[in-house]
A and B are shown apart, each in its own frame.
Chain A
Amino acid sequence: MRKLLLLILFVSVTLVTYAGGYRVSVQGQRAMAMGHTGVAVVNSAELVFFNPAGLVYLENKLNVSVGVSGIFTDVIFQNEDLGISAETDNSIGTPLNIYASYMVNDWMALGLGVYTPYGSEVTWPTDWAGSQLVNNIDLSSIYIQPVVSFKLSEYFSIGGGPIFVVGNVEFNRNAGRTTTDINGNRSNVTIEDSGVTNWGWSVGAMFNPTENFHVGFSYRSEIIIESEDGEATFSNFPNSPNAPQNGTDGFVAELPLPAELTVGLSYEYKKWLFAFDYNRQYWDVYESLDINFNNPRNPDSSNPRNYKNSSVYRFGVQYQATEKIALRAGYYRDETPVQPGFFAPETPRNDSDGFSGGLSFAVTPKLAIDASFFYLRFEEVDASYDFGTNPTTGAREPFGGTYKSSAFAPGIGLTYKM
């Protein structure tokens, strides 16, 4: 089993996730089918992510859940005043998650999770109207987390563990709206770094007032991805001492993966399970994306983000249709952390409504196939990013228009119990 886990982990190093902010809620097939609720749902090893405290209440000694989703995202942009439009051409994201838990004794469980809660891949047409802000961006992070869970009583448990993060980034954009070389090719900069690591942690608690009623709490710490050994590539700059030098340079940049607090409850009534989660995401840590190049000739880049903390409200329901089949559905309302005037096309995210559904089919009493799907519906939004920097004058220039995004993700997984 361990070998398999490692294999999957290393084969899937190119974990890519989807557009629309860079928090990606696809951390479990069963949870996703229920609006990504789970902090108070005692159901599978997905609890490693949702609430490690709950692992001790799982019925089986060994629980394994693996899943993968295919995320199809699309963002369209237009500006009616200027008659311009663009559409992203994002590749299909395939976030993966692997969870396992093991009951050591009746008061302690150990678990391990590999999941990808943050990531973003947005590919606009090269040199599109907003190319001074982004041509393409590809962020990914892999969280690897061992957890331990203690049952303090039938009513209360706690859990948690350290998180090891591996992050990758690739980001290309044009240097200003108009800078070109002598042949009119747009000057651009790519920054690339991979295998950036850091540590974080999560803790959880679960309270069971009755056998059918769970209340959960979990908190995942903020983790800052600090890129210091990456490579920046300057291309198509004019051959002038007053322009950046074509070629490579080093850079320093930081990207925060914000902390997340979740509280929620679940209630089981006959064949029904109802769940509600509230997420608070501490995005205010993302004040600015600053890229500082080593060569003093290459101007540093400051990109105010000024995100605010945001909330997500999640509702899920499960119905045990037959002994073998469980049906699930969910809804969530996801508030954007992006404030007016800071809507950058690299994270074109506004408020959205998520609709999800899915089912589990028990092939054997031990093995179940889980399927899920969700559709994230964004309102059409007129928005702008008012803090683009003119490389010549240093003045802030706005860029905006109408955006509309969508994300659609079918997923499949396996749950194994022994």
Chain B
Amino acid sequence: MIKNNIKYLAILALGLIACEPEFDNPIDESGIYKSGEADFSNFIALGNSLTAGFADGALYITGQENSFPNILSKQFSLAGGGEFTQPLMADNVGGFAGATEAFPPRLVLAFGEDGSPSPERFTGSSPSTDFSSLGASFSNMGVPGAKSYHLVAEGYGNPAGLQVSPPASNPYFVRFASSANATVLGDAVAQNPTFFTLWIGNNDILSYATSGGVGMDHNITGELNPMNYGPNDITNNMTFAGVYSQLVNGLIANGSKGVLLNLPSVTSLPFFTTVPFAPLSPLNQDFAEQIPALNQTFAGLNAAFTALGVPERAIQFSTTSASPVVIKDESLVDITANLTTAITPAFGPLAPIIAAQYGQARQATAEDLLVLTSSGIIGQPDTDRVTELINLGVPAELAGQLSVKGVSLPLEDQFVLIPAEQTAIENARTAYNATISALAAANGLALYDVASDLNQAANGGIPYNGGIVTSQFVTGGGFSLDGVHPTPRAHAIVTNGIIGAVESTYGASLPSVNPADFGTITVSNEVN
């Protein structure tokens, strides 16, 4: 009887187990997803801020968690991928403790009392991350700010380099460099990656672009040695090709497979496309009231421009439609001397001062790109310039009139990418991308044409199930509040692009991600 009971209990227990639902083809059982010729067991990501998950002007934990390498590693984990580690920051504030000047907290979208949104620095709590080392051997080796040649530069992670001004090393790499003399490439290779992503070279043109082209273009100077480069310069194409080749050769030396990502156009980035060239609207009451006086002042200058054979430099503000800002175009011939002579009858002793202000000035055209940071200063008085002019003997009222940024005071080089600068950037990008494509083909590596996808985001948008991602600042969903770095949703799109490249190159079969499941920007009114 007892025996029977035990038997029945056993049958009952089996019955309970049999009642558990089970899929015909469970995804966690091997067979559905495949790595193909690739081996995802030790995946290392090399690159810059894009690889690191930098967003909203800072590196912070949730940005890192939503970096494309981290998202990708989760998909890889269903096809033989292993653990993926990241040098996580200490908080979701971003920035470095005690160094907020150079590394400020993240941007959040704050709403004013009138409901108007604006990106502001988060002040809800202070940055708590310091420069101390977390140890080496992280899978995500993206170093914000890194240019191509930085990945092979010894000492780029040397803590001592942070003590000098300007810093000789990068605090993000200091946090996970294996030694003071370590290179990013060396530390990556030391981990024996079986698979890698490499997305580098953006900053070789981007820092020049975001600084409005104040740096040097070494494709013109011919300088090949990065030791002689400034932070905002364009890297010489040959230098880039040499470094990139060194990176690829280093990574594939032990048979690793990988994906190379090319470089998107800066015109894909809202940082360069958000502020219109003609933002001065007569609908703005303050500005509209000044238009007659401004036009009267500029009439004398415009006559001089015509007399000097440069009528295209005439400055005129419309009372019916938005007018272009006034910029300084350093590619124009400086006509200060002749202009001084021409306007002396009208302005007397002030002529040299005024002529100097407009010696290379013109109104912007649709060909010019204003950087995002110009939006906060256009139409604002430059108090330093007012003081300067008063000290030069200009009456206070006129000094004020002549010091309105982008209206009477031409915007400086750093706020505008003029066509010549855009051409320099685009030429370098084209050459870099040719190098990347050639090295991908030569080494049998996968290539993801992310430039093409970002171009689509900027021109119509990338649809997904439930919406569309565009490059529109704040609302488009593709770019974080710094206007340069992608949102988690854009990282998801990049992940899918990489997966597509990996599948076609290596015969892998991987699940994609749904961009709808990834966020965009963060709202918060915890700002000062």
Name A residues whose Cβ lies closer than 8 Å to a Cβ of B.
Answer: 72, 74-76, 78-85, 129, 177-180, 182-184, 238-243, 375, 378, 380, 390, 393, 395-398, 402, 404-406, 408
Residue of A nearest to B32 (CB): A80
- The chain B residues found within 8 Å of chain A, CB to CB, are 15-16, 19-28, 32-33, 61-62, 65, 74-75, 78, 92, 108-111, 115, 117, 122, 124, 465-467, 488-489, 510-514, 516-520, 522-526
Residue of A nearest to B511 (CB): A83
- Chain A residue at minimal CB-CB distance from B110: A240
Which B residues touch A378, using CB under 8 A? 21
Known contacts A241-B111, A404-B23; 9 further A-B pairs (Cβ under 8 A): A81-B512, A83-B33, A85-B28, A180-B522, A184-B92, A240-B111, A375-B19, A396-B466, A406-B20
The reply to whether B62 and A184 form a contact with Cβ atoms under 8 Å apart is: yes
Identity of the chain A residue whose Cβ is nearest the Cβ of B488 in the assembled complex: A178
Q: Please determine whether B92 and A82 come into contact, CB atoms closer than 8 angstroms.
A: no
In the docked arrangement, what's the CA distance between A178 and B65, Å?
14
Which residue of the partner chain B has the closest CB to A88? B21
Identify which of B23, B61, B124, B514 contacts A239 (C-beta below 8 A). Answer: B124
Are A243 and B523 within 8 A (Cβ)? yes
Instruction: Say yes or no: B467 contacts A72, CB within 8 Å.
Output: no
Which residues on the B side are within 8 Å of A83 (C-beta)?
27, 33, 74-75, 78, 510-511
* A364 and B75 alpha carbons, distance in the complex (Å): 63
- Contact residue among A184, A241, A393, A397 (Cβ-Cβ distance under 8 Å from B65): A184
What are some 9 contacts across the A-B interface (CB < 8 A)?
Answer: A72-B19, A83-B33, A83-B74, A129-B517, A183-B62, A183-B92, A375-B19, A390-B466, A397-B465
Question: Which chain A residues lie closer than 8 Å to B78 at the CB level?
Answer: 83
Asked if residues B467 and A390 are in contact (CB atoms below 8 Å), the reply is yes
Chain B neighbourhood of A72, CB < 8 A: 16, 19
In the complex, the answer to whether A182 meets B124 with C-beta atoms within 8 Å is: yes
Question: Nearest Cβ distance between residue A78 and chain B, in whole angstroms?
Answer: 5
Q: How far, in angstroms, from A71 to B28 measured CA to CA in the complex?
A: 27
* A393, closest chain B residue (CB): B467
Residues of B with C-beta under 8 A to A74: 19-21
Contacts of B108 in A (CB 8 A): 182
Q: Is B65 touching A240 in the complex (CB atoms < 8 A)?
A: no
Of A79, A129, A182, A393, chain B has the most CB atoms within 10 Å of the CB of A182
Q: Which residue of B lies closest to A83 (CB)?
A: B511
List 4 A-B pairs, minimum CB-CB distance, nearest first: A83-B511, A178-B519, A184-B62, A397-B466
The answer to whether B524 and A238 have CB atoms under 8 Å apart is yes
Known contacts A82-B511, A85-B27, A238-B522, A404 near B516 by CB under 8 Å = no
Whether A81 contacts B511 in the complex (CB less than 8 A), given A182-B122, A408-B16, comes out as yes
B27 contacts which chain A residues (CB < 8 A)? 78-80, 83-85
List residues of chain A with CB within 8 A of the CB of B22.
76, 404
Q: Given A72-B19, A408-B16, A239–B526 Cβ distance below 8 Å? A: yes
Residues of A within 8 A of B519 (CB): 178-180
CA–CA, A241 and B113, complex, Å: 9
With contacts A239-B524, A378-B21, A408-B19 known, is A395 near B466, CB below 8 A?
Answer: yes
| Across-interface contacts of A177 in B (CB, < 8 A) | 516-517
